[in-house]
Amino acid sequence: MSSKITGPLLALLLTAALFSGCNSTPEKPEALIPEDTYTSLLVELQLARTYTETGQVDSLTADSLRNRIFKKYEVTSTSFRKSHNYYQHFPKQQKKRIEEAIEKLRMDRVVDSSRTGGRTKPLN
């Protein structure tokens, strides 16, 4: 698994978790995204961010990709943000979700690598 993907994801989420520990616990959002869906969203949104940061897609394409991701999971960016803010206030559980997201990224990388004979799968 490339550190280009796991490094930024881990740094982003751990930094957010550290800063969120300073605030009081927010109320549970009415439309809290289930943990498994939230974790899948983290993975896909991080991939979209990585594609932008590595120059594989431009910002307009990345915005479109993020919108498609939210549509796929039938959530809004607002409900994701509220759920993310809520989950960040529980660092131990959030660490487990982050570890799960990283593992999903690793498994996706292994599957992609096996499909392309060890080469990184091209972005289409």
- Calculate mean pLDDT across residues 66-88: 95
- Residue 81 pLDDT: 94
Structure tokens at 38: 């939230």
- Give the whole-angstrom CA distance, residue 111 versus residue 23: 40
Please provide the average confidence, as pLDDT, over all residues in the chain. 80
pLDDT at 1: 46
Q: How far apart are CA 45 and CA 69, in angstroms?
A: 7
pLDDT at 43 over 50: yes
Measured between alpha carbons, how far is residue 42 from residues 37, 58, 60, 69, 109 in Å?
Answer: 9, 20, 20, 10, 16
Q: Is the pLDDT of residue 82 over 80?
A: yes
Q: How is the chain split into domains, by residue range? A: 3-112
Residue 7, H or E segment? helix 3-20
Task: State if pTM tops 0.85.
Answer: no
